[in-house]
Amino acid sequence: MFLFFLSSGLFLGWSLGANDASNVFGTAVGSKMVRFRTAAICCSIFILLGAVISGAGASHTLGKLGSVNAIAGAFIVALSAAASVYSMTKLGYPVSTSQAIVGAIIGWNFFSGSLTDYHTLSKIVITWIACPTLSGIIALILYKVIVIVIGRIKIDMFRLDSMTRYGLIVMGAFGAYSLGANNIANVMGVFIPVSPFADISFFGLFKLTSTQQLFFIGGVAISVGVLTYSRKVMATVGEGIMNLSPVAALVVVSAHSLVLFLFASQGLEAFLKHHGLPTIPLVPVSSSQAIVGAVIGIGLLKGGRGIRWRVLGGIGSSWIVTPIIAAMVSFISLFFLQNVFEQKTYRPVPYAITSEAMARIQKQGISLEETGSMLGKEFPDAKHFYKALSNLNNLKPSDRVFILNSAEIDPMAVTFKKLKTINLDSDWITKQEIAVLEKLEGRKFQHKWQLDEALAKISPHWQPIENGKKYNERLQHKMSHIYDKFRYSDK
């Protein structure tokens, strides 16, 4: 059933490849510097590499927007995004897969009663403006620098043509890698919380995490989309907005590739943080917006006369319509799948301030004057609970978030039978960590944080560490696996 439900993610990957390959090689193909076949093969290979090697960064931000907790729900979310992207691809518009998946997740949030993290949403929406703007600025600067360099060193036409051709292929490969790293989260991000895969090791030489396995499958789907259906949109980007010279085409794809890399690189984020510099958010930005912004930057540098504003207006309209369509299709499809086909599209998550949650809230130093009246009262979902919290005037927004996390009900029982199902691979969950879990055999927990604290109290193996982002992310990945194994329902 997981493979069947994963098919919508593969469809979304195929749609992304069919649409967004144009952003990597569209200008090269449109300027007749690179053949379509060469562009498609190169693009496919490096998209796959980027997805598997560097795709984890942006997926965490997307997961904060809404954690789809049922496989059938993930199927609909991916299918809704794919349908909206495919419909725009048929029209020849380079739409934003990032906007499509965000719209679809919000549709799921509304249907399931889950909260939409508006802080994360605002961060993503800001990048929809920052991405094309930054790409346009980089393209403008690069073009002026390259023109000055060419004028000073006086390269002959044939040599310039050859250098530009190789430059387009090299930067296209870099752009494809960046596209895979940044946008694979759009394709497979919603399946991460419900993935049945465990980490696997290949003879101790290297390992693939469950997330990387998902990203590999998604990367293959994107590559197939590039090879089979990307020619039409390549023509729109390469020729439709404005005619580009070979040098301008190289500048455009370089600016696009740099912007995608900036928003996907965990290494760059760590470097900036280590040196006390402001970091760039790891967000799945729109490849389409990056390439269009770069083309407009070149066009404005030349006075704007060569820009086909009507085509640009159609592209802009498709960016507005795509997330709206995806959200509506997601909401309606979830209704039909759950009520007509009787599939579980989300796992209900109730909330209640239990006595244990109240003690944790009190330990945090949050006023209990008004929250005490909510003790023991159960709410069906996050939206109803947060609405009740919003009526309490003495709580700060950060207090509400802490109370929300403390009150989430997720019953778990550590049993002998379930302990035996835990993966014993030393590259996944170590024997020492399993030994700690075994000490909790027979215990039950109402909240996830109770299990976290119980494990951390017994052993440092289950404790997060300060400034250990990768370690803590891996620990959280393990905990998600543990939650799934020990979860049970009284109903």
Based on the fold, state whether residues 244 and 141 are members of the same structural domain: yes
Based on the fold, state whether residues 59 and 189 are members of the same structural domain: yes
End of a domain among 310, 339, 368?
339
pLDDT, average across residues 275-292: 81
Based on the fold, state whether residues 311 and 397 are members of the same structural domain: no
- 378 in a domain, yes or no? yes
**pLDDT tier, 204 (very low <50, low <70, confident <90, very high otherwise):** low
| Residue whose tokens read 């930054």 | 134
For residue 360, the model assigns a pLDDT of 92
Q: What would the 3-class secondary structure string for the chain be?
A: CHHHHHHHHHHHHHHHHHHHHHHHHHHHHHCCCCCHHHHHHHHHHHHHHHHHHHCHHHHHHHHHHCCCCCHHHHHHHHHHHHHHHHHHHHCCCCCCHHHHHHHHHHHHHHHHCCCCCHHHHHHHHHHHHHHHHHHHHHHHHHHHHHHHHHHHHCCCHHHHHHHHHHHHHHHHHHHHHHHHHHHHHHHHHHHHHHCCCCCEEECCCEEECHHHHHHHHHHHHHHHHHHHHCHHHHHHHHHHCCCCCHHHHHHHHHHHHHHHHHCCCHHHHHHHHHCCCCCCCCCCCCHHHHHHHHHHHHHHHCCCCCCCHHHHHHHHHHHHHHHHHHHHHHHHHHHHHHHCCCCCCCCCCCEEECHHHHHHHHHCCCCCCCHHHHECCEECCHHHHHHHHHCCCCCCHHHHHHHHHHHECCCEECCHHHHCCCCCCCCCCCHHHHHHHHCCCCCEECCHHHHHHHHHHHCHHHCCCCCCHHHHHHHHHHHHHHHHHHECCCC
**pLDDT tier, 423 (very low <50, low <70, confident <90, very high otherwise):** low
- 303 in a domain, yes or no? yes
For residue 458, the model assigns a pLDDT of 94
- 466 in a domain, yes or no? yes
For residue 190, the model assigns a pLDDT of 84
As a whole number, the mean pLDDT across the chain is 84
End of a domain among 365, 390, 407?
407
Based on the fold, state whether residues 288 and 389 are members of the same structural domain: no
Q: How many domains does the chain have?
A: 3
pLDDT, average across residues 277-298: 83
pLDDT, average across residues 4-28: 82
pLDDT, average across residues 17-27: 76
- 133 in a domain, yes or no? yes
Residue 109 has pLDDT above 90, yes or no: yes
Based on the fold, state whether residues 57 and 98 are members of the same structural domain: yes
Based on the fold, state whether residues 400 and 422 are members of the same structural domain: no
Q: What residues have CB less than 8 Å from 468, skipping those under 6 apart?
A: none
pLDDT, average across residues 404-419: 91
Which tokens go with 160? 């310039």
- 345 in a domain, yes or no? no
pLDDT, average across residues 101-112: 93
Could you tell me the sign of the dihedral formed by the alpha carbons of 57, 62, 66, 68, in that order?
negative
pLDDT, average across residues 138-149: 91
Residue 338 has pLDDT above 90, yes or no: yes
Any idea which of 101-115, 140-154, 186-200, 434-448 has the lowest mean pLDDT? 186-200
Say which residue, 339 or 185, is predicted with more confidence.
339
End of a domain among 385, 407, 429?
407
Based on the fold, state whether residues 420 and 401 are members of the same structural domain: no
Based on the fold, state whether residues 392 and 444 are members of the same structural domain: no
pLDDT, average across residues 220-236: 80
Based on the fold, state whether residues 229 and 358 are members of the same structural domain: no
Based on the fold, state whether residues 78 and 204 are members of the same structural domain: yes
Encode burial over 364-387: b for 16+ CB neighbours within 10 A, e otherwise: eebeeeebeebeeeebebbbebbe
- 311 in a domain, yes or no? yes
**pLDDT tier, 133 (very low <50, low <70, confident <90, very high otherwise):** very high
Residue 346 has pLDDT above 60, yes or no: yes
Based on the fold, state whether residues 358 and 235 are members of the same structural domain: no
- 346 in a domain, yes or no? no
Q: Which of 82-96, 311-325, 421-435 has the highest mean pLDDT?
A: 311-325
Angle at 89 between CA 296 and CA 287, to 5 degrees: 45
Any idea which of 21-35, 156-170, 227-241 has the lowest mean pLDDT? 227-241
Which tokens go with 389? 């919290």
For residue 426, the model assigns a pLDDT of 45
pLDDT tens digits, one per residue of 442-484: 999 999 999 999 999 999 989 998 877 778 877 887 888 788 8
pLDDT, average across residues 135-159: 88
Based on the fold, state whether residues 87 and 73 are members of the same structural domain: yes
Structural domain harbouring 196 = 2-339
pLDDT tens digits, one per residue of 391-406: 776 778 888 889 999 9
For residue 425, the model assigns a pLDDT of 47
pLDDT, average across residues 171-197: 84
Any idea which of 57-71, 267-281, 409-423 has the lowest mean pLDDT? 57-71
For residue 372, the model assigns a pLDDT of 63
- 420 in a domain, yes or no? yes
